[in-house]
Structures are given as structure tokens and as C-alpha cells.
Amino acid sequence: MPITPATATHSSSNGTAEAILLELVDEDGVTIGTAEKLAAHQPPGQLHRAFSVFLFDSRGRLLLQQRALGKYHSPGVWSNTCCGHPYPGEAPFAAAARRTYEELGVSPSLLAEAGTVRYNHPDPASGLVEQEYNHLFVGLVQTPPAPDPEEVGSTAFVTPGELRERHAADAFSAWFMTVLDAARPAIRELTGPSAGW
């Protein structure tokens, strides 16, 4: 994983990883505290700040990622380009750009805010719960992904029609359709009417 100022503060001096903290929020997205990442996802879940990124190529195709099989939450399922959690005090925009690079090896050529969505999605396979106040971002990518295999199993660029086919045939994250639908107005503005989103 590339070391950035945000990630550097989360490794101890002896090389062992410290607990990753998430920012807990109220229903309006106001920070009210922190919780350890896994604890925040234990049922019934604690409402925490998250982000979701949707990147598109020059043809208006959405970059999907298949989550690596080694991930403790929703392994092996397909999802949006990138999603994750800002560190406490980290701006969601900065976290979205950071994690997109760390997971996929790409820096968006454009990244814009696309609103927020709040949801509660239990994951039956893992027993974990996503209680998230999610900041949405849309953008453009001009370089091929170079995924970190510990984070990403595979990637694919898809049209809306190809996404419908994949969604019917493959496993997707519990939150995928919620965040996609919430981001659609910004996606349509970014990609234009001919892309079909």
C-alpha cells in the first residue's frame, strides 16, 4: 500500500498495524465520535461516514471492481469503482482520491461531489451491517487500472446494458444499487444523455 500522510499515521513505529478508526456521525452527517472499523460493522451497526466513487472512461463506461477474496467484508462481489471510509478528520473527497489510487492505481482526471445517501444494509453472508452516511463522487479516468491484488480481484468497464446483465448473473455488494441510484443525476450530468445512465 502506498504510504500517504493519511495512512502513515495509522502504522505504529514497530511496523504493526494499529486499529483503524471510523468517524461516527448522526443522521445529519455531523461527527459524534469514533469506533474501531470492525466494531462499527457488527450488528446492529453504528452509523459512520463512508464514500463511494464512480469513475467513467471516455466512452461513458463505468469502472467496476470485484472485491478481493481476502477481504473480511463482502469478499468476491462486484461493486462500484471504489468505496471506503475516511479516517477521522479526513475530508471525504481526500479519502476518495486516496483510496482510488491505493486500490486501483489510478488518479481520476476529474472527481466531483455527487451528494450523500444514508442506508442500512445487512450483509447476510458475513453477518456484518453497513450503517453508512455515504458521500458520493463521480469522475473520469484516463489511465488503465493497476489494481492492488489484496484489495481488488478484477476490474471491468461496463455500459448500462452490460451492467444490467452482470447484475442479473453475478453477486454485487449489498449497497451497490443504493449508491448507484443516488449518484445517477450526477452520473448523467457527467456522461451525457447518450451514455444511457
d(CA 108, CA 56): 9
Among the listed residues 83, 90, 102, 130, the single catalytic one is 83
Residues present in the chain in total: 197
132 is catalytic: yes
Among the listed residues 23, 90, 102, 132, the single catalytic one is 132
Per-residue cell: 89 = 478528520
Per-residue cell: 107 = 488518479
The residues, ordered by sequence, that sit 6+ positions from 41 with a Cβ below 8 Å of its Cβ are 73, 128, 129, 130
- My answer on whether omega of the bond before 92 falls inside 30° of 0, hence cis, is no
113 is catalytic: no
Q: Which residue has the cell 448473473?
A: 169
Q: Which residue has the cell 461516527?
A: 24
98 burial via Cβ count (<10 Å: 0-12, 13-18, 19+) = buried
| Active centre residues (catalytic) | 83, 132
